[in-house]
Structure 1
């Protein structure tokens, strides 16, 4: 993991993906499955959610990766999510150029692109 610079994406629900189905002191639970990702994927998909889904007929649980699992409503204090796109901008050529210039920059992160569009269009709208 260190050599490839991968990060372990922690699950939002559940933790262990295997259980030996014994009781008492013989019970063993392990986290043997996980999602590993590059840091850039995590930056580009800030709403990634991992869930462990209990399988009743198996000792092995499923894990699910949802790139859009955490909805923006989970982050009400994140100023980057306060930008609202006004439908009247969809037909305006200048707005399309502003959005295209901000969004197609490869040297900026996802949140910075949203902030750039928000700051430019906020002033432009007035």
Structure 2
């Protein structure tokens, strides 16, 4: 999703009085999956992650950081140092296509090659790039 309502997005900013459960309920996410067991988490200072289980169904929702505030290459490097995966994938949404090329196409991940790459133009200057590395 893109273009989230600002008031809705603001619900996912951490404060002294916030909690992941409050974010789940206030945002209406609990109503989407009313019978599921939800495991939710809030991030410092902005972000939210939810995994749910209902019978055989597993669902997740993630509200994540703005690329202007996080260095994507450094973030990926830290994740790889931690987990040492044989394969991993990245999906990145940007509002301005120029950022896409600066943040996604201009870096290589040492020790990995790209197995799959997909680009989806969302219109109005937005796009999503998905890359799978091995």
Query: What TM-score bracket applies, with the shorter chain setting the length?
Result: under 0.3
Tell me which structure has the larger Cα radius of gyration.
1
Higher relative contact order (CA 8 A, sep 6+): 1
Q: Which has the higher strand share?
A: 2
| Bigger share in helix | 1
- TM (normalized to structure 1)? 0.24
Q: What is the TM-score normalised by the length of structure 2? A: 0.23
